[in-house]
Amino acid sequence: MSNIPNDLKYAKSHEWARVSDNTAVVGVSDHAQQELTDVVFVELPSVGRSLKAGDSCAVVESVKTANDVYSPLSGEVTEVNQKVVDDPALVNNDPYGEGWFFKLKLTDPSEVEQLLTPDQYGAQIGAK
């Protein structure tokens, strides 16, 4: 069963955002990492890159597949998690903590309202 923290917002494409002030920390959901299985490589966007909500901005490779990661919100990348590049298993072991991908300075904070609530995301992935 997937872990779906209540303090996050979710994209239909399985990214999460933890929003505080005008900054969002972004990663992939527990459900996504379970589907991927063992993550072996992570490629993150460069600091300073401007993203629009829905832009493909990162890549996650597992032993069985490679998947694009999409930005759930629009903004400028202010920080990337080098730890997850050096140790991709963090995506599997701690997707909502040490396994985060990047931070965004939001250009349109109202977009947060378009993301799924934890209950909506749970319904999408069939969680009880």
Q: What is the reported pLDDT for 127? A: 83
Q: How many domains does the chain have?
A: 1
In a domain, residue 3? The reply is: no
Residue 40 belongs to a domain with what CATH number? 2.40.50.100
Q: Is the pLDDT of residue 37 over 90?
A: yes
Burial of residue 16, with CB atoms counted within 10 A of its CB: 0-12 exposed, 13-18 middle, 19 or more buried: buried
For residue 65, give its domain range.
9-109
Q: Is the distance from CB of 56 to CB of 70 less than 8 angstroms?
A: yes
Is the torsion defined by CA of 29, 83, 44, 72 positive or negative? Answer: positive
| pLDDT band (50, 70, 90) for residue 13 | very high
| pLDDT band (50, 70, 90) for residue 125 | very high
Which uninterrupted H or E stretch holds 105?
A: strand 102-106
Residue 92, helix vs strand vs coil: helix
In a domain, residue 91? The reply is: yes
Q: Residue 28 CB: number of other CB atoms within 10 A? A: 27
Query: Tell me, what DSSP letter sits at residue 7?
Result: T
Count of H helices and E strands in the chain?
4, 9
Q: Is the distance from CB of 2 to CB of 30 less than 8 angstroms?
A: yes
pTM of the model: 0.96
In a domain, residue 125? The reply is: no
In a domain, residue 41? The reply is: yes
Tens of pLDDT along 65-117?
999 999 999 999 999 999 999 999 999 999 999 999 999 999 999 999 999 99
Q: What is the reported pLDDT for 128? A: 59
